[in-house]
């Protein structure tokens, strides 16, 4: 599954959230691993634990663009080893635009 997020500016922070369930009910205490394929340090924390509602979150700092580049695609994912529906992917367009 891929969640497409609205475009953002470089350096913006975006909250990513997933909900983990077991038999249709929230699954508390499950470790979720977060990964940014370009810059792993851009996800803080890199792993989080689901709360009583089965929800885990992280913060993703979107990458800077290289010289002359005005847009780029960024991707991250959340994974729970052994769970169905793994991984959940997040995609976003990073756009440097003064008129957007």
- Number of domains present in the structure of the chain: 1
Average pLDDT score, the chain: 88
CATH number at residue 70: 2.60.40.10
Q: What is the pTM of this model?
A: 0.85
Report yes or no on 38 lying in a domain: yes
Phi-psi region of 63 (alpha: psi -120 to 50; beta: other; left: phi over 0): beta
Residue 100, in any domain of the structure:
no
Q: What pLDDT, in 10s, does the model give residues 54-67?
A: 999 999 998 888 77
Domain of residue 7: give its range. 2-95
Please tell me the distance from the alpha carbon of residue 78 to that of residue 92, in angstroms, as a whole number.
15
């Amino acid at each position: 599954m891929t969640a497409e997020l609205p475009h953002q500016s470089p350096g913006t922070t975006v909250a990513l959230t997933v909900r983990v369930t077991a038999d249709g009910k929230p699954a508390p205490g499950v470790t979720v691993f977060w990964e940014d394929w370009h810059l792993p340090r851009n996800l803080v924390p890199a792993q989080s634990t689901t709360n009583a509602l089965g929800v885990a979150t992280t913060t993703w700092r979107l990458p800077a663009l290289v010289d002359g580049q005005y847009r780029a695609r960024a991707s991250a994912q959340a994974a729970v080893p052994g769970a169905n529906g793994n991984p959940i992917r997040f995609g976003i367009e990073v756009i440097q635009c003064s008129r957007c």
